[in-house]
Structure 1
Amino acid sequence: MLGTAAGEDHPARHNGSVTTIAITNQKGGVGKTTTTVNLAASLAANGQRVLLIDLDPQGNATMGCGVDKHGLELSVYDVLMHGAHVEAVTQRAQDAGFDVIPANADLTAAEVELVTASVREHRLRDALARVKHDYDYVLIDCPPSLNMLTVNALVAADSVLIPVQCEYYALEGLSSLLNTVTRVQKTLNPQLRIEGLLRTMHDARNSLTNEVSMQLIQHFGSRVYATLIPRNVRLAEAPSHGMPALVYDAASRGAIAYLAAASEMLGRHGKQSTVAVPESTAAVAGD
């Protein structure tokens, strides 16, 4: 399931402004990787030039894009630790219209090696400087922990998108993450901001889900995306086929919800969505 070479069928390149978004939550199991892969596909469907960076040693985003993590000659590890050029490592996501810098278990070593490395917090940012005019969006799938890989993502990013599952411990985990973002702002990346909170695995039939959802809105106001990502079988199945839900089943509620989230993101950035989101999206938030 190897992806094709990066850049094939790529929209015309221009010297635009790239937006780099770290997608992270120190709490696992909240749909972080699902969000990264499906937002990348949905933004690409809207004509945006997208690069997905897998910074999780598990390599789930890599596999979810149709790139075989076991057959990599070069990975994001080589970018961070050996100075490999981003262009040499990048692959094309299978049938999804965006580029991927893949990861595999080699990245586990980087977690340790970066601790004693020089210029350790800025390696990803510096590597991306070479390709900043080639993309409209760079989405970084972070590991579910605060380590030097996550710090590299936060230093490279313009903003942080936080997927949140509406459950009892959601707010507790958010507090820890927001403290981390504040520390990075103060010491390493003063321009870093919160992109927003995206509610995932939403089930409107669950009273606790609705209660936590309202608490998030009370605490964070307009930072909470209006779009709700539902629990959806197709979203769960798509990664095993090496493709985003939009490619696997474009009519599924999960695929439609991420199209709506991408449209909302584009609107927040002053851009026009070019893909009509089906009317059934209204039901995504409520059924």
Structure 2
Amino acid sequence: MFTVSVCSLKGGVGKTSVTLGLASAALHQGVNTLVIDLDPQGDTTLGLLGEPATTTDIADVLSSPRTETVDRAIIPTPWSQGAASHLDIIPGGHRSVLVDTPAPGPKDIRRLREALDKRTHQWDLVIIDCPPSLNGLTQMALAASDRSLVVAEPGFFAVTAADRALKLAYEMREEKLAPTLQPLGLVVNRYRPRSVEHQYRLAELRELFGDKVLEPVIEERVGLQQAQGGAVPLHRYEGASGKRLTEDFDALLKVVLDSREMVPEQS
């Protein structure tokens, strides 16, 4: 089981859109996948289920990381109906903020990893949608992950936010809180190629972070929001921008899965 956290230091960068795009690509490619919604806003849950969850959720799992609690929290998504592979979710919601803290202890940070170790289900890929902060919930996600993806938009504050998120992954591994974690890189999202400002900021990110800026860059396209609004997989969206978006997320998923062969970096 290969676990990837999708995180950011700030909100509004399209972190949930990237999570849902990767989930759609995984389902399309026959990769059995679990999505974990750690964001108290619960947008990923809404995108995958079409409505807020009313059953056991991630807050219950983190409060009581036992096998029976984990198994009870897992819900098959409507997206996987009729598909050859399955896409499941551990839903999120506002109650998860109760287990969040800006300064978690080592025992708290290991909660999600311990919970996943106790599951009886099997997946090829686990995608964790983190809150837009680097507090306790995000640290729990990183401690349970093999790779971290940092989502950034090409704006003025992108450099500082991306740098801090990448450094946290190295710090947690050095402190042995996230023993298998490696930062995979930056996903630049909501890019407008005709914007001079976006061109400048993308060049700035590439100059500072080099090959940590991943390809493809995800352009801002209305199809992504329309697919999410209809709670349907991007790969089933029939709008004009659907083909380009699906190609981009297929390529991004390949980067994620190929990273299983990465040689560990020095922190």
Cα distance in structure 1, aligned partners of 2:91 and 2:28: 21
| Residue equivalent to 2:29 | 46
Instruction: Report the Cα offset of residue 203 of structure 1.
Output: 1.1
| Residue equivalent to 1:273 | none
Cα distance in structure 1, aligned partners of 2:54 and 2:103: 25
Gaps (5+ residues) in structure 2?
81-85, 262-267
Cα distance in structure 1, aligned partners of 2:106 and 2:173: 20
| Residue equivalent to 2:158 | 170
CA contact (8 A) 2:3 2:145 kept: yes
| Residue equivalent to 2:60 | 78
Give the one of 145, 162, 165 matched to 2:133: 145
Cα distance in structure 1, aligned partners of 2:23 and 2:63: 25
TM-score normalized by the length of structure 2: 0.86
Give the one of 242, 263, 268 matched to 2:231: 242
Cα distance in structure 2, aligned partners of 1:93 and 1:247: 15
In the alignment, structure 1 residue 123 sits paired with structure 2 residue 108: no
Per-residue CA distance 1:13-56 (angstroms, 9 max, x = gap): xxxxx211111011111110110111011022112111100000
SS in 1 for 2:11: coil
Moved more, 193-202 or 57-66: 193-202
Per-residue CA distance 1:224-280 (angstroms, 9 max, x = gap): 22212111111112222223322333761333321221233334446xxxxxxxxxx
Cα distance in structure 2, aligned partners of 1:35 and 1:242: 14
| Residue equivalent to 1:33 | 16
In the alignment, structure 1 residue 196 sits paired with structure 2 residue 180: no
Cα distance in structure 1, aligned partners of 2:104 and 2:156: 37
Give the one of 252, 255, 259 matched to 1:264: 255
Q: CA RMSD in A?
A: 2.4
Instruction: Report the Cα offset of residue 88 of structure 1.
Output: 1.1
Cα distance in structure 1, aligned partners of 2:71 and 2:29: 23
Give the one of 70, 85, 91 matched to 2:75: 91
| Residue equivalent to 1:10 | none
Cα distance in structure 2, aligned partners of 1:258 and 1:144: 21
Gaps (5+ residues) in structure 1?
1-17, 271-287
Identity over the aligned pairs, expressed in percent? 29
State the number of aligned residues. 252
Cα distance in structure 2, aligned partners of 1:34 and 1:184: 26
Cα distance in structure 1, aligned partners of 2:23 and 2:117: 20
**Aligned-partner residue type, residue 55 of structure 2:** E
